[in-house]
Amino acid sequence: MREGAKKRTVELLLTFCMVTTGSVFVCAVYNKIFWSGNTFLDGDILWQLLALAFVCSLGNFFHPYREISRRREAFNKGLHYVYINVVVLGSGYWFGWMDIENIFMLAAMVVGILAVFMVVSFVIWRLHKRESENLNRKLSEYQAESERRMAK
């Protein structure tokens, strides 16, 4: 498997796991607030959440592996966020998780999407930051070795 495709697959799986966790959490809170006492939860919701997390994870492809400008990257990030909103709100309507005319349900869903999006973005940034710290450690070793070789 090519290096790029391998990295993409790992990123997709990681995003899928994080989005699934976030969706379950939001679903639990949402259910407690809006559907408490009702028989909203059945077995299908689990499959629906998994499918939703997978389709949301596909949004990673808004960020191409090829080189693009910072401006284009920022635009793609915005597009990615819109895509997730469309997918989640569309699923909410399609699967009957929310009453489209209930503004509170709609608002709670939008807040839930924003929260999961921000948490996932933060975790990815933290992983990226850790990666850069490892790179800096290795860079120092590389430069020290280079200096040592020249001094010899």
Interacting residue ranges for another protein, rule: CB under 8 A: 3-4, 7, 11, 63, 65-68, 70, 73-74, 76-77, 125, 128-129, 131-132, 134-136, 138-139, 141-143, 146, 149-150, 152
Cβ 88 to another protein shortest distance, Å: 22
Residue with Cβ nearer another protein (111 or 135): 135
CB of 42 to another protein, least distance (A): 38
Residue with tokens 């697959």: 9
Q: Which is nearer to another protein, 44 or 67 (CB)?
A: 67
Give, in degrees to the nearest 5, the angle at Cα 123 between 86 and 87: 10
Nearest to another protein of 32, 149 (CB atom): 149
**Residue type at 21 in one-letter notation:** T
Q: How far apart are CA 22 and CA 69, in angstroms?
A: 30
Distance between CA 36 and CA 31 in Å, rounded? 6
**Long-range contacts formed by 118-123: CB under 8 A, 24+ apart:** 119/18, 119/22, 120/15, 120/18, 120/19, 120/22, 123/18
Instruction: Rank residues 42 and 67 by Cβ distance to another protein and give the closer one.
Output: 67
Q: Which residues touch 13 (CB under 8 Å, ≥6 apart)?
A: none
27 and 45 Cβ atoms separated by less than 8 Å? yes
Residue closer to another protein, measured from CB, 6 or 104 = 6
Q: Which two tokens stand for residue 114?
A: 């924003």
Give least dist CB 129 to another protein, A.
5
